[in-house]
């Protein structure tokens, strides 16, 4: 199986990155899914979407050392798994899953490229614009991935992506802050480059 990497970040948080090279039936034949979840996946019109969802479930199964995965979704589209917090991300032929037994997590995976250098002003706030190297694609992908992961981990809807999600510290020793007026929530950020992909997990 093309599992690129699995890692235990700390005692309660782990992730799995899966490179998708298999056909749909590979997953369907090896996973025991809830009937409603299987129907949901099969109803997706685009084959790439079906494969992404199947690879995420396979990654969850791998992390939990089981072939039975029973997922559901909240009304806002956030995936749910009894007894755990989890987060999904997809990028081309890669799926990433972060799993925690104690608190919300967020994950993002993106292919590293130069295009993001033209977009920094769209997702960085004024402090971040002077704190990071805007000509460094690794740093920009880290910041983008951190904000995506923070957004997924936020307990409330974020209205201001630029200012309510903050990346603080000196790269690569950074942490994330979610502004939840009148309070804020600080989260750890873990990052790694895997097969040309920037992976960021917040927890």
CA 118 to chain centre: 23
Q: What percent of the chain has pLDDT over 90?
A: 89
pLDDT at 17: 98
C-alpha closest to that of 2 among 25, 38, 27? 27
Q: Could you report the per-residue pLDDT of 25-78, keeping only the tens digit for each?
A: 999 999 999 999 999 999 999 999 999 999 999 999 999 999 999 998 888 778
Strand extents, DSSP E, the chain: 3-8, 13-19, 32-33, 68-69, 72-73, 79-80, 85-91, 94-100, 106-111, 165-170, 173-180, 183-194, 197-202
pLDDT over threshold 70, residue 199: yes
Domains of the chain listed by start with CATH number: 3-102 (3.90.470.20), 108-202 (3.90.470.20)
Give the predicted TM-score (pTM) of the model. Answer: 0.94
Mean pLDDT (the chain) is 95
Question: Which pLDDT score is estimated for 1?
Answer: 56
pLDDT, tens digit, 9 for 90 and up, residues 97-137 = 999 999 999 999 999 999 999 999 999 999 999 999 999 99
């Amino acid at each position: 199986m093309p599992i690129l990497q699995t890692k235990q970040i700390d005692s309660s948080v782990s992730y799995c990155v899966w490179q998708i090279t298999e056909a749909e039936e590979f997953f369907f034949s090896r996973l025991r899914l809830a009937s409603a979840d299987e129907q949901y996946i099969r109803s997706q019109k685009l084959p790439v979407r079906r494969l992404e969802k199947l690879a995420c479930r396979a990654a969850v199964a791998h992390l939990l050392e089981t072939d039975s995965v029973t997922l559901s979704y909240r009304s806002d589209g956030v995936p749910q798994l009894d007894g755990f917090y989890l987060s999904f991300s997809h990028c081309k032929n890669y799926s990433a899953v972060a799993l925690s037994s104690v608190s919300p997590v967020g994950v993002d995976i993106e292919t590293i490229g130069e295009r993001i250098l033209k977009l920094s002003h769209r997702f960085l706030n004024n402090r971040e614009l002077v704190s990071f190297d805007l000509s460094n694609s690794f740093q920009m992908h880290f910041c983008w991935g951190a904000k995506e992961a923070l957004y997924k981990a936020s307990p409330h809807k974020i209205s201001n992506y630029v200012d309510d999600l903050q990346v603080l510290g000196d790269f690569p020793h950074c942490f994330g802050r979610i502004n939840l007026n009148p309070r804020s929530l600080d989260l750890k950020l873990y990052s790694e480059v895997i097969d040309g992909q920037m992976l960021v997990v917040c927890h």
